[in-house]
Every structure is written in structure tokens, then in C-alpha cells.
Amino acid sequence: MTPSDLRELALPAGIVHRVPYGEASPLQFGHLRLPQRAHGHDPTGPFPVALLVHGGCWLSQYEISHLAALEMALAEDGFAVWSLEYRRVGDEGGGWPGTFLDVAEGADHLRQLSRRHPLDLSRVIAVGHSAGGQLALWLAARDQIPEGSELHRDDPLPIHGVLALAAAPDLAAHHAAGTCGGVVDALMGGSPEQHPERYAAASPMQLRPKGVPQVLVGGNLDRGFGRDAFAYHDGATDPSEVLLRELPGAGHFELIAPRTEAGMEVRRELAALLGRLGRATAGE
């Protein structure tokens, strides 16, 4: 399965709001989709939020459209879906630090959206695929970024759970491997040796979310999954916070095709993660 296959999936009817979250670039926008009464949901909400970050090697040629089917499916499942576009390597202002700042600004924009839409910001789950999986994990750790970093913000939106699909949590490892034609060097503006402080502020392997349940899902046919996801899981300080799921017979893109067997399992994992958040809230 390829990104083109994903774009050609039959899509259910749905309403999408294209909403800008910044003014520096026309790429600073997101798709907002809300659950509909037609799918059995009370439109008054409030709804848990699935904050989606698409992948594509952090490169400009891979954009948001291939997540449309997943966006709609998660709205059917009862989530308010906020799916981010952002500047990437090859876009003006993309790379360091623009790619990270765009995703951060897009996440924080949920506060403004919640003033106009029934969003439950106490239940925000970041869902990212491939390079977007790295960014989703990073969003959940922004509260730990040192003040001296270009990526630091005083009051980042709290992320309550992460579902990382075929993720790339170790930027240094992907730099060494030359992933996607060596894109990490362009993304970070150099190597880990040249900019150790950047990698420390942006790579989930070094900047791990704390107190946030995380589920990493990959397909056993995906050659890219496993190089660092297993190491990320094994290095968790609290093993109960980081779960690893490997789906048999699935490749890289089946995970975000919502009506494939792998895609349905991803949706079940997201529902289970939401259930964990509910239990944690009840126990506080």
C-alpha cells in the first residue's frame, strides 16, 4: 500500500473545516472534523480529541491528504479530529526549527478551537504516523524542553496519551542510518555531533514524555519499524507507560488505512488508550 492508494480510498460523507493556526505560511493549517449525529453521536459533545500528525519523511512532497480516510474514521468513532499540516524540509521555513514550531503552534491552537467547538481538552491524544509519530511523541514531552531551546514555550498544551504508528522516535539513529535520503540532517540542520542540544530537545529517544501513556504500533512487514521503536520501548523508565504492538501481515501504510485489518486494530488501540485515560482521571 502507498500514499496514492490511501488517497483513492472510498471516503464516507463528512464535514471538514480547514482552519489556519498561524500566519507565517499557508501551510499552517489543520483539518477539524467533529462527530456527527448520523453516526450516533450527540453533536453537543464535548468530544475527546485525536490530534493527528501526518508522516512522509518530514519532506515537503508528502502532505496531509493521505490522512483523510483516517480523519473521517476517527470522527465516526467519536473523536474530534484536529489533523495538522505543517512546513517540512523543502518548504520555505521548514526544517529546524520551523517544522517543530508549526506542529507545536498547531497543537496549542486547540485552546482557541475549544472556545468555538465542543472539545474536551482533558482528553487529547496525539496520533502520528511515521515521521508524524516522532512529532506526536515530541508533542507529549514539550513541557520538558529547556528554557534555552528555540523550541521552548512556557505553557504547551498538555497531551494525555500518544498513539505512534510506525514511528521514528530516535532522530540520531535515523541520522546515522541515512533515513529517507539523509533527511534528518536537513531537518535538524546538521548531525547530533554538530547540534547535540537540538537533538536533546527534539528526539523522543532523549526527550521522553513523562506520566503519559504511549502505544507504539508497527507492522511486521514494515522494514522501517523496529530499528528504534523497540529500543524506545525497552528504554522506558516506567514500562507500564510505553506499550509496543506489532501487527502481523501489516506494512507501513496499512496502519492508517482505517478499514484494513491493521487499520481496525489501530482504531481499537486508540479506543483502549482513551479508556485508560478515563480510568486515570477517575482515580485522581
List per-block mean pLDDT (blocks of 10 residues) for the chain, which spans 284 residues.
60 73 97 83 89 97 94 95 98 98 99 96 98 98 97 98 97 95 97 98 97 95 78 91 94 92 97 84 39
10 Å CB burial of residue 215 (0-12, 13-18, 19+) is: buried
CA angle 236, 240, 242 (to 5 degrees): 50
Residue 5: what pLDDT? Answer: 63
Residue 13: what pLDDT? Answer: 45
Does residue 165 contact residue 222 with C-beta atoms inside 8 Å? no
Domain that residue 32 falls in: 3-283
Q: Within 10 Å of residue 240's Cβ, how many Cβ atoms?
A: 7
Helix (H) or strand (E) holding 120: strand 119-129
Please count the structural domains in the chain: 1
Does residue 168 contact residue 174 with C-beta atoms inside 8 Å? yes
Does residue 187 contact residue 95 with C-beta atoms inside 8 Å? yes
Residue 284: what pLDDT? Answer: 38
Spatial distance between the Cα atoms of 213 and 34, rounded to a whole number of angstroms: 24
The backbone torsions φ and ψ at residue 247, rounded to the nearest 5 degrees and listed phi first, read -100, 120
Q: Closest Cα to residue 47, out of 83, 79, 15? A: 79
Residue 56: what pLDDT? Answer: 94
Using DSSP, state whether 178 is helix, strand or coil. coil
CATH of the domain at 176: 3.40.50.1820
Residue 45: what pLDDT? Answer: 87
Residue 156: what pLDDT? Answer: 98
Q: Which pTM was predicted?
A: 0.93
